[in-house]
Amino acid sequence: MAALPRLLWASSAVLVLWAGFCSAVCVEVPSETEAVQGKDMKLLCISCMKREEVTASTMVEWFYRPEGGKDELIYRYRNTNHEFPSRFSGRLQWNGSKDMQDVSITVQNVTLNDSGIYICNITREFEFEIHRPLFTSSRLIHLTVVEEAGEDFTSVISEIMMYILLVFLTLWLLIEMVYCYRKVSKAEEAAQENATDYLAIPSENKENCAVPVEE
């Protein structure tokens, strides 16, 4: 039954991607905040450009802040990617898009020590004819790493609603079957009663029951 939430999520994702493809609209979706130990975790960072018709160069910097610690630069992307020496060395992968609106990275083989705050800083330099203004934005992701994946509350609600729907449809089907059965039984009983009444009529009176034929 756990496949139902995944199917719903996949359908929603396809609709979002289809809508984005058709209308060329950038949607800023928040990142997930829980990772499972030993799995890969994509830190989603989307920063939509307000002026898509203007050429801009983009630089992305990812920082990591442990609990009670200071910000540590772990990754930078500007035309090429550069990974800085840290606890994540060899475990960071660039997942950004070509238009630099999605500037996400993936942390591979997540450990319990990877819990903390991740900061995604985006700097855009727009190329106007007269000046080159800079615009900056940041995204914070409070990531918690757990040993095992817990039961998703949304999937639990989906399963409960699915069971309720199945019970409702089953009861409705049973009621329809009983109703149809009673209707057919009454029709058969009425036909049998009519046949019995006809047979009980004396033979000399049956001629009166016949429908006269016009000459």
pTM of the predicted protein model: 0.58
Give the separation between CA 138 and CA 103, rounded to whole angstroms.
Answer: 11
pLDDT of residue 54: 66
Domain locations in the chain? Answer: 27-148, 152-179
CA distance 103 to 118: 13
Gap between the Cα atoms of 155 and 151, Å rounded: 7
Classify 27-148 by CATH class. mainly beta
If DSSP codes are grouped into helix, strand and coil, which group holds residue 62?
strand
Mean pLDDT by 10 residues, the chain (215 residues): 44 41 63 92 88 76 93 94 94 92 95 95 86 88 88 71 87 88 83 71 57 50
